[in-house]
Structure 1
Amino acid sequence: MAMRTPIAFAARRATPSSSAASFLVPCAPRWRRGNATVAPPATQSAAGSKGPTAIVFMNMGGPSTTDEVHSFLSNLFSDADLIPLGRFQNYIGPLLAKRRTPKIQKQYADIGGGSPIRKWSEHQAAEMCKILDKTSPETAPHKPYVAFRYANPLTEDMYKQLLADGFGQGKGGRAVAFTQYPQYSCSTTGSSLNELWKWRARFEGAKAGQSVDGDAGNIKWSVIDRWPTHAGLVEAFAQNIEKTLATYPPERRDDVILLYSAHSLPMSVVNRGDPYPAEVAATVHAVNQRLGMKHKYRLVWQSQVGPQPWLGAQTSDTVKNFMKKGNTDMILIPIAFTSDHIETLYELDKEVIGEDAEGHEGVKRVESLNGNPVFIEALADLAKSHLDSGVACSKQMTLRCPGCVSERCRAQKEFFAAQTESLAAGVQNA
């Protein structure tokens, strides 16, 4: 569960029931951490033969200021896809959010007063769309949107903005839901797509007065639902690792241990058949291949919450145990995250490196992807390939977990799978 939100801190007691290609582009300016800069409104206008195209970056989000922490936690604890609390979820969730708010506010204050994830998401989406306008002119203009699961801009508000900008409501239009979790989990990508499907049904389905679900006047949706081994993603990670390795003295460099850290999952979710652990491992293997398999490494898991069994070994325990054995040169690599957030800036930097490793100079973390131009070029390549494919989602997405019993998950997958036929009809009518 590549959770990009502070679940580790928010829910500590909440347990009631081939070689990569080069993607170099000119270096983007560095952004200072701060509050989000909202992209200017975009209105639908004819340009390319298949445009305009909305590109929606989907993530869990995070509070941009400490004042937003309580609403963020309330939304988080209300999501049974992420933290199942049983039939009393609507009662227990707000209580947990209220109790946890002061502590989480302090942690966000310690990393600059809020999460930088909105800033980076908006930057990545906007820069990627600039590239797409050049590489895919037939689907231009490409308009960037961000939809967060628990923080502003929420999925509901993003959908309202799409409609206000001229998509849907009898005008049709194309939108791509681009998950910013490279590795798929039902708890992250799945939950975000469930939320998108819900608001699509409310705004454009039968409940909104549409005569037929999937009517030609509705938005045509497709999904980039996973991309764990994309060459550009692998290259971006590998270059950041090489940059950090270069900071070690030559005589120590070959013995540095690479610790790839990803957000853990409850074993109940793993045993249900969630594909996330396998897809994270695929990313790790691809990056190590790109690095020439020159270094010792482990895939470890962070942010376990509550007393129930979770996927391990935990990152913090691994660092402490290796240091006891005399292995003091380690690089932490947040392999399932596409930007900085509280799990990198607080959990890894302050807790694991600052406390568990006692600030040892041999324990370091690679720079997050953030505004990395190689990474942004990879995003554009992913989007162009998807737009060229003519399919609405991967075949893998249509396969439910063996132990899945969620009817909402079933309906959501059926909807997005059916969008391929709708896309094909749009091409024939163009």
Structure 2
Amino acid sequence: MSADSVGSGGPLNSGGAFDALLFLSFGGPEKPADVRPFLENVTRGRGVPPERLDEVVEHYLHFGGVSPINQLNLEMIDEIRAELARRGRDLPVYFGNRNWHPYVGEVTEAMHRDGHRRILVFPTSAWGGYSGCRQYHEDIAGAVAGVDDPTLVLRKLPQFAVEAGFRASVADVLRAAMDDLGFIDSERVVFTAHSIPESADRAAGPAADGGHLYSRQVNEAAAEVARLADVDEFDVVWQSRSGPPQVPWLEPDICDHLRTLAARGVSRVVVCPIGFISDHLEVVWDLDSEAADLAAELGLEYVRVPTVGTDPLFIDLIADLVERYADGGGDLTAMGCGDNGTVCRPDCCVPVRRPTRG
């Protein structure tokens, strides 16, 4: 891959059908000995204080040192394979990760050995921004460079936060949770997504559009999900902050917001983790442990909505995206779409220099 192709924006070419799908995710430890090395992979260069890393290690060890993310991804992959087969798409699906085994580079080499040269990539983040989109391009670029075959094309599918199918799937699980509960007047629906530094949010999206793509996407998706689920009033909050305390991150934090709601007389909170597609450790710790415990202390009835995971509408969305691009077509200018690590727009989601600790 040439240096020119990386900065030019968009796919390298549009011709030819694709012969495989790579399901690209974040990764997670499989046993206690994996936890520290995994977290060091995740936080390398991010200026995360050692004491915060120690704290997160304990979160993983609380669950036996095993993140649920890999198994949940495998369950989604099984459903995707089945749905593609139902649609008559004979497209093998591979699984790779950014931060832990199976690493994306190793999986790309295996796909190449298996004879695949044109590969679609579905990333498990719906969103724009550096961590949500551009870093997946970097993962793909590194994987392609490790193979060194000019015929190899890995096309990243676009950001799906804007897709009607994604929003419908979140509304589907939210409606189901609310139907099970029965609505009450003092209930409040709260959408959560992963917080990021304010500087990273300012750098998210094309500079000409003013940045803040990530937070705008989360807020717009939450508003549409609320409309689809017949929710009149809702809040958008953030969770899972991990950076140095002196660096401003998106707020309010979910726990701070719970205190605010309790002070306002809200008696039931329905928390919908719109920012995540599976119940991985940040969801089950931050929402099912810390936030749930705080809600109990505050006297709040607390309900956490499932992530979309294997919801049929979400699996349909993934299959729809694959079919849209599988024959070489699709919108090649869509946000997040690019080949072999080429970002969709040259100035899109520019990485922010992170503070270092001496």
TM range (shorter): 0.7 to 0.9
User: After superposition, what is the alpha-carbon deviation per residue over 1:195-244, rounded to whole angstroms, capped at 9, x for unaligned?
Assistant: 21022023125xxxxxxxxx4xx222212130113232222211211222
- Partner residue, 1:368: 307
Separation in 1, partners of 2:283, 2:191: 12
User: After superposition, what is the alpha-carbon deviation per residue over 1:76-101, rounded to whole angstroms, capped at 9, x for unaligned?
Assistant: 122x4xx2x4xxxxxxx8x94xx666
- Partner residue, 2:255: 316
Deviation at 1:262? 0.3
Tell me, what secondary structure is at the counterpart of 1:396?
A: coil
- Partner residue, 2:7: none
Matches within 5 A, 1:134-213: 134-135=86-87, 137=88, 140-167=89-116, 173-204=117-148
Q: In the alignment, is the contact (CA less than 8 A) between 1:353 and 1:360 conserved in 2? A: no
Q: 1:130 to 1:400 in 2, by over 3 A?
A: same
Q: 1:134 to 1:314 in 2, by over 3 A?
A: same
Separation in 2, partners of 1:183, 1:155: 20
Q: In the alignment, is the contact (CA less than 8 A) between 1:66 and 1:105 conserved in 2? A: no
1:260 to 170, 188, 191: 191
- Partner residue, 1:390: 329
- Partner residue, 2:207: none
1:288 to 226, 230, 233: 226
Tell me, what secondary structure is at the counterpart of 1:310?
A: coil
2:20 to 34, 48, 54: 54
- Partner residue, 2:319: 380
Deviation at 1:350? 0.5
Separation in 2, partners of 1:221, 1:369: 26
Deviation at 1:65? 2.2
Tell me, what secondary structure is at the counterpart of 1:277?
A: helix
Tell me, what secondary structure is at the counterpart of 1:235?
A: helix
Tell me, what secondary structure is at the counterpart of 2:270?
A: strand
Separation in 2, partners of 1:363, 1:51: 48
Letter in 1 for 2:285: Y
Separation in 1, partners of 2:258, 2:132: 26
User: After superposition, what is the alpha-carbon deviation per residue over 1:345-403, rounded to whole angstroms, capped at 9, x for unaligned?
Assistant: 11111001113542846211001222222221221112112325615843433224478
Separation in 1, partners of 2:219, 2:93: 30
1:297 to 229, 234, 257: 234
- Partner residue, 2:5: none
Q: 1:392 to 1:325 in 2, by over 3 A?
A: closer
Q: What is the RMSD computed on CA atoms of the aligned residues?
A: 2.5
Q: In the alignment, is the contact (CA less than 8 A) between 1:319 and 1:357 conserved in 2? A: no
Separation in 1, partners of 2:66, 2:332: 33
Letter in 2 for 1:268: S
Q: Does 1:277 align with 2:215?
A: yes
Letter in 2 for 1:198: G
- Partner residue, 2:153: 220
User: After superposition, what is the alpha-carbon deviation per residue over 1:278-313, rounded to whole angstroms, capped at 9, x for unaligned?
Assistant: 111221122122123x33101111122322111111
Separation in 1, partners of 2:93, 2:134: 21
Tell me, what secondary structure is at the counterpart of 1:142?
A: coil
Deviation at 1:249? 4.5
2:162 to 214, 219, 229: 229
So what's the TM-score if we normalise by structure 1? 0.68
Q: 1:196 to 1:378 in 2, by over 3 A?
A: same
Q: 1:55 to 1:405 in 2, by over 3 A?
A: closer
Q: Does 1:129 align with 2:81?
A: yes
Letter in 1 for 2:174: I
- Partner residue, 1:107: 59
Separation in 2, partners of 1:403, 1:56: 23
Q: In the alignment, is the contact (CA less than 8 A) between 2:295 and 2:302 conserved in 1? A: no
User: After superposition, what is the alpha-carbon deviation per residue over 1:161-205, rounded to whole angstroms, capped at 9, x for unaligned?
Assistant: 1122222xxxxx320111111112212321122021022023125
So what's the TM-score if we normalise by structure 2? 0.81
Q: Does 1:76 align with 2:28?
A: no
Deviation at 1:125? 2.0
Identity of matched residues, %: 22
Moved more, 142-151 or 231-240: 231-240
- Partner residue, 2:208: none
Q: In the alignment, is the contact (CA less than 8 A) between 2:17 and 2:326 conserved in 1? A: no
Larger radius of gyration: 1
User: After superposition, what is the alpha-carbon deviation per residue over 1:319-367, rounded to whole angstroms, capped at 9, x for unaligned?
Assistant: 1111122112111111011101111111111001113542846211001
Q: 1:375 to 1:62 in 2, by over 3 A?
A: same
Q: For structure 1, list consecutive stretches of 5 or more residues without a partner in the other structure.
A: 1-49, 86-92, 168-172, 206-214, 407-430
Q: 1:112 to 1:376 in 2, by over 3 A?
A: farther
Letter in 2 for 1:399: R
Q: 1:264 to 1:105 in 2, by over 3 A?
A: closer
Kindly tell me the number of residue pairs found equivalent between the two proteins: 321
2:29 to 41, 63, 72: 63
